[in-house]
Amino acid sequence: MHVSPWVWALTLAGILAVIAADLFLIHRNDTREFTTRRAAFWSAVYIGLAVAFGLGVWAFSGGEHAAQYFGGFVTEKSLSVDNLFVFMVILARFAVPRHAQHTVLMAGIVIALVLRGAFIAVGAAAIATFTWVFFIFGAFLIWTAYGLVRGGDEDEFKENALLRAAKRIIPTTDEYDGTRFLTRGGGGRRAVTPLFIVMIAIGSTDVLFALDSIPAIFGLTTEPYLVFTANAFALMGLVQLYFLLGGLTDRLVYLGHGLAFILGFIGVKLIFHALHEYGVAWAPDVPIWLSLAVIAGTLAATTAASLAAGRRNPARPAPAAVERSAEAAGGHEPDAAPRRG
């Protein structure tokens, strides 16, 4: 798949335009809280944009590349649902006012998108040069899947080195100032608000999530353009998905197992692909249609099973309720971060 520089430029310009419209037009000029109804509407808009882009890929590059894009998009979107749990914990620990949550989430995701772009460029260059990289990616995904099944991968928020350095070096106020990242502190000196620190927390934490999501999508397509655009559309709609799913994420009790199966399947697919490239006759090259069927079928089965389990057993208090309680308490941090169901 050959993508000319001007197509890349137009794509990046379109993505930036959508982000700017979301951040500066849809939300910034509207003081209302981002309700579930609004989240549902804008989630539908973002999914519509992603589907329209995929149809464009189909029209200009054929069904094979379109299937790769849709497979990558669905995979990234599914992994992002699991990551929303951590975002809820971050916003609760920092007691972010509800009216400011959309702004800080969007800003953090913009940072994550830029850093993921760098990861994708490095990964694509490595794959194009060294076939054995597929073995590393495959083994990493299988190990990640094992960790999810074992329960050792907890959705806890832990401050990384970047966040600790930012809190230590950058002058920060104690109070929020609306949706501003920069304000004047004591003595009239310029200082960042806690919202800036939260933005760094979300952006840097999402990059850690990319350690499994980027290898996963490379298992479905090695086209850098499709990898980047699938990631971009999955991330851009993540803010709306956060408000839409709010208290639902902890009810998807089997989502972790479903994602583990998907990651394990893609990991095995990557190893088979590498063996196939090295001429191993018995190693099949799994077609994209089978990958799509496995991903869609697994997500449907785990969602149905989770909802059925939720009807049998009343759900625990939703993370959104924890968040509101932390906000009402004036920023009191929860004693422990909730785990994945």
Residue 284: per-residue pLDDT:
82
pTM: 0.71
Residue 54: per-residue pLDDT:
94
- Domain extent for 112: 5-328
273-332: per-residue pLDDT in tens? 888 878 887 888 778 778 878 888 888 888 888 878 767 665 444 444 344 334 433 344
83-123: per-residue pLDDT in tens? 676 777 788 778 888 778 877 888 878 887 888 888 888 88
Q: What are 210's two structure tokens?
A: 């990319």
3-class DSSP string for 253-276: CCHHHHHHHHHHHHHHHHHHHHHH
Is residue 202 within 8 Å of residue 109, measured between CB atoms? yes
Residue 172: per-residue pLDDT:
82
Q: 341 in a domain, yes or no?
A: no
pLDDT (mean) for 234-259: 75
pLDDT (mean) for 141-154: 73
Q: What are 47's two structure tokens?
A: 């999914």
Has residue 55 got a pLDDT over 90? yes
Longest Cα pair distance anywhere in the chain, in angstroms?
73
Q: 185 in a domain, yes or no?
A: yes
Residue 244: per-residue pLDDT:
75
Is residue 191 within 8 Å of residue 171, measured between CB atoms? yes
> How many domains is the chain partitioned into structurally?
1
Residue 246: per-residue pLDDT:
62
Is residue 112 within 8 Å of residue 206, measured between CB atoms? yes
Residue 82: per-residue pLDDT:
62
Q: 339 in a domain, yes or no?
A: no
Residue 318: per-residue pLDDT:
44
191-221: per-residue pLDDT in tens? 888 888 888 888 777 777 777 678 888 888 8
Q: 335 in a domain, yes or no?
A: no
Residue 157: per-residue pLDDT:
60
Q: 340 in a domain, yes or no?
A: no
176 or 51, which is more confident: 51
Is residue 47 within 8 Å of residue 76, measured between CB atoms? no
pLDDT (mean) for 265-273: 85
218-232: per-residue pLDDT in tens? 888 889 999 999 989
Q: 214 in a domain, yes or no?
A: yes
pLDDT (mean) for 236-263: 75
Is residue 254 within 8 Å of residue 309, measured between CB atoms? yes
Residue 81: per-residue pLDDT:
67
11-49: per-residue pLDDT in tens? 999 998 988 887 776 655 455 566 777 778 888 889 999
Q: 334 in a domain, yes or no?
A: no
pLDDT (mean) for 265-272: 86
Has residue 341 got a pLDDT over 70? no
Among 77, 99, 120, CA closest to 228? 120
Q: 333 in a domain, yes or no?
A: no
pLDDT (mean) for 55-68: 93
